[in-house]
Amino acid sequence: MKLIIAEKPELGRAIGAALNLSPAAGGTMTGSEYTVVWAFGHLMELEEPEKLDSKYKKWNLADLPMYFDPWPSVAIDGKADRLAQIGQLIQQADSIIHAGDPDDEGQYLIDEILDHFHNTKPVLRVFINDNTPSEIQKAFYQLQPNENFRSIGEAAHARALCDKTFGYNYSRFFGLTLNVKGLSVGRVQTPTLGLVVNRDRQIENHVKQKYFELTASAVLSGAAINLTFKPDKQFLNDGGHITDRAFFASVIADIPAPASVHVTKQQKKEAPPLPFNLVKLQAYMNEKYNLSVSRTLEITQELRDKFHAITYNRSDCQYLNAEQYDAAPQLLQGIMRRLGIQLSLDYSIHSKCFNDANVTAHHAIIPTNAQFDLSALSDEQQKVYIEIAKRYLVQFLPPIALEETKADAEVPAKGSFQAASIRILERGFSAYYPAKSFKAAALSDVPAGNYSVQLGNYRIAEKFTAPPKRYTQATLIMDMTQVAKYVTDPQAKAALQAKDKDKKGENGSIGTPATRDSIIETLIKRGYIQDDGKHLVSTQYGRQFYDLLPDDIKKPDLTALWWTIQEDIKSGNAQISDMTNSVLASIRKHLQDDYSAVHVDHAADREEIGKCPLCGKPVYETKLSFACSGYKNGCKFAIWKENGFFKHFGKKVTKAAAKTLLGPYHRCLERNLTSKAGKKYDAYFKMTIQNGRPQFSIEFPNKKKTTTKRNFRSFR
Ligand SMILES: [Zn+2]
């Protein structure tokens, strides 16, 4: 028996169908020659250090750097049965066909299983880019010895080892030296925090700069046209602006009279946007429905697991294969029926999304022909499914036909007055699907040609530069796919870009489509950034921490450096140990760094309730109390929310009460107290400090002064 091990169920079943295998026991498919079994993505992971050596259960600086050579892998929780089953099948097999995805993770994932069972049977490698039967059959005619590709998997193995080593050692080192719980450092996580911190600072440090803009108007063929002056490049400052008003005065003086205005027209087409990959879908759903990027990922997983409604969801690719083009008419008829819409799709339109050359290990996310009822989906599932389906449907609608009209009037040696207007000739797909809006100006009515006219109505307007926008979840994951643009080191920048040279849509990225959402979630959970529902903003704590980290730990350049070593591993010019040793060397060096003078905590982000009456340090709210932040210096002052005195009156210490208790009068007004006789009354609870603890007594408002309610209010 030849055993085929596929990376995922979808691929396994597609192979089974293409090779005419029948479903067999235990979630496999089998025939006279082949048996196919599939993994569920990674079945194994590196074992946790504390399980390999119990000394790591305790956090201890002396135990760093932590590293294991060799570092054993174990079954991921819930996947041990499948792993054991594959192990048995390997024993029964005469030979094995490795059907991991055609990328380094796919190579590693199956090699890891083979190594785990010390496989000695011959292994061939099959590369399947497209799950259609004909493509799979073709791929099986081109099997190659798996040995030739081992080094590609080793590159992925090296990255897994380094990520674990890096994150584990630095998280412990900084947590221990800074004495802060819940700190973490990661190769992708930390530069992502940097994106947010740097953006926030740009916004906060932005100094509004005044600049000027010159406009004029002209009447062309009966239409009044407004033109804006575009100075020649050499006159502009770094921000692309004119800050000297006198420059425009000199332009006005030089305007020829009459001026020659050149009007041109050009026909343009605006094609529908490409089908979604995961990151584009996450960004779209975040912008349109405010769904978090992790929620969108979850929903796509549900759509796949429960309904088989969409193709592979963690894809980084927005392109599709020729087979999918052929299958579209039948598929989309069914989709339109399900969505209850009827569009006249034109299947002769060959969208640029159909391009085999741009398909990587996966293709774009599109709906499948699975049968299910739309009403079986939850509201959120429907939203995501419908957006994926619509984005695919529009590939077969015509582009928007546009006519762009431009006007240009030169002022010699200074620049030119310009105007532009775009008119929609045919709405194309935008009649059905949201698209960029175009609003035609009067210029669109002006025929092309040269006009000799008088310019007039010169106006020099004062403008101000605006800061960049805060990140949203959508814009942050998009920037993670193109982080190279913020990298200043030219070598690192080039390496990051080279890493993504085969991936359309990713240009110098960090992280993967499958992990970016959890990176953002981690940053929020750690308290480094906050999501206020609309924007992501770094906390003071996040900034303090980011600032103290050395550059070689926090910059995206590290991903570039690792990638260059990974390339050497793939080509056989480096070993896994070259990469892990370089990471360990850098960790050893940083373990000597002295952070005794720096201080990091959440305090800066917390609301100060008041000052401690004992030591003067700020008091903050905790889960159970309002406590002095000087506890590290031995101050134990705290007001418990469930204070006994308050409880006696049926009250709790609220935040408002704590604030006035820490105010100048050390008392708070409590209303609607009930006397033994059942009468309602108001009273002050007065705080005094005895033996370092707050004690309370009741104080009645001065009768004379407080007989009216108005006077009461003034104490609030
Ligand atoms: Zn204190």
- Can you tell me the distance from the alpha carbon of 92 to that of 5, in angstroms, rounded to the nearest whole number? 13
For 511, other C-beta atoms within 10 Å of its C-beta total 25
* Domain 278-396 superfamily per CATH: Topoisomerase I, domain 4 (1.10.290.10)
- Give residue-wise pLDDT tens across range 218-243: 999 999 999 999 999 999 998 899 99
Cβ(293)–Cβ(517) below 8 Å = yes
Domains 210-271+400-464 and 278-396 share a fold: no
- Give residue-wise pLDDT tens across range 657-692: 999 999 999 999 999 998 888 899 999 999 999 988
Ligand 1 midpoint to CA 527 (Å): 25
Nearest to 488 by CA among 560, 430, 586: 560
Residues in the chain: 716
The answer on pLDDT for 370 being more than 70 is: yes
Q: Where are the domains of the chain?
A: 2-43+79-142, 159-204+470-590, 210-271+400-464, 278-396, 606-713
Least-confidence region, from 334-338, 355-359, 551-555:
355-359
Q: What DSSP state is assigned to residue 606?
A: S
Predicted pLDDT of residue 305: 84
Ligand 1 midpoint to CA 651 (Å): 25
Q: Which two tokens stand for residue 575?
A: 């070993």
Ligand 1 midpoint to CA 617 (Å): 5
The answer on pLDDT for 421 being more than 90 is: yes
- Give residue-wise pLDDT tens across range 198-221: 999 999 999 999 999 999 999 999
* Mean pLDDT calculated for residue range 430-438: 91
CA angle 138, 143, 149 (to 5 degrees): 130
Give the list of residues 6+ apart from residue 592 with CB closer than 8 angstroms, or none. none
Catalytic residue list: 312
Ligand 1 midpoint to CA 159 (Å): 47
* Mean pLDDT calculated for residue range 506-526: 90
Predicted pLDDT of residue 528: 95
Q: Which CATH class is domain 2-43+79-142?
A: alpha beta
Predicted pLDDT of residue 715: 36
The answer on pLDDT for 710 being more than 70 is: no
Q: How confident is the model at residue 711 (pLDDT cuts 50, 70, 90)?
A: very low
53 or 701, which is more confident: 53
Predicted pLDDT of residue 581: 96
Cβ(317)–Cβ(129) below 8 Å = no
pLDDT > 90 fraction of the chain, expressed in percent and rounded: 80
- Give residue-wise pLDDT tens across range 164-199: 999 999 999 999 999 888 899 999 999 999 999 999
* Mean pLDDT calculated for residue range 369-388: 95
Predicted pLDDT of residue 703: 56
Cβ(232)–Cβ(414) below 8 Å = yes
* Domain 210-271+400-464 superfamily per CATH: Topoisomerase I, domain 3 (2.70.20.10)
Nearest to 299 by CA among 389, 381, 385: 381
Ligand 1 midpoint to CA 661 (Å): 14
Ligand 1 midpoint to CA 179 (Å): 20
φ/ψ of residue 406, rounded to 5: -125, 145
Ligand 1 midpoint to CA 618 (Å): 8
Spatial strand order of the sheet with 456-464 comes to 449-453, 259-270, 400-411, 415-426, 223-231, 210-220, 456-464
- Can you tell me the distance from the alpha carbon of 246 to that of 260, in angstroms, rounded to the nearest whole number? 24
Cβ(7)–Cβ(100) below 8 Å = yes
Give the list of residues 6+ apart from residue 648 with CB closer than 8 angstroms, or none. none
The answer on pLDDT for 716 being more than 70 is: no
For 155, other C-beta atoms within 10 Å of its C-beta total 24
Ligand 1 midpoint to CA 529 (Å): 28
Ligand 1 midpoint to CA 625 (Å): 13
- Give residue-wise pLDDT tens across range 611-662: 999 999 999 988 899 999 888 788 999 999 999 999 999 999 999 999 999 9
* Mean pLDDT calculated for residue range 94-122: 96
- Give residue-wise pLDDT tens across range 573-601: 999 999 999 999 999 999 999 998 888 88
The answer on pLDDT for 90 being more than 80 is: yes
pLDDT > 70 fraction of the chain, expressed in percent and rounded: 98
Ligand 1 midpoint to CA 613 (Å): 7
The answer on pLDDT for 51 being more than 80 is: yes
The answer on pLDDT for 137 being more than 60 is: yes
φ/ψ of residue 120, rounded to 5: -120, 0
Mean pLDDT value across the chain: 92
- Give residue-wise pLDDT tens across range 286-322: 999 999 999 999 999 999 888 989 998 988 899 999 8
Ligand 1 midpoint to CA 660 (Å): 17
Ligand 1 midpoint to CA 632 (Å): 10
Give the dihedral sign, CA 270/275/278/282.
Answer: positive
Nearest to 666 by CA among 682, 645, 689: 689
Nearest to 529 by CA among 195, 176, 292, 286: 195
Predicted pLDDT of residue 362: 85
The answer on pLDDT for 700 being more than 60 is: yes
Whether domain 159-204+470-590 has CATH 3.40.50.620: no
Ligand 1 midpoint to CA 117 (Å): 60
- Can you tell me the distance from the alpha carbon of 225 to that of 464, in angstroms, rounded to the nearest whole number? 24
For 317, other C-beta atoms within 10 Å of its C-beta total 24
The answer on pLDDT for 430 being more than 60 is: yes
pTM: 0.79
Ligand 1 midpoint to CA 420 (Å): 66
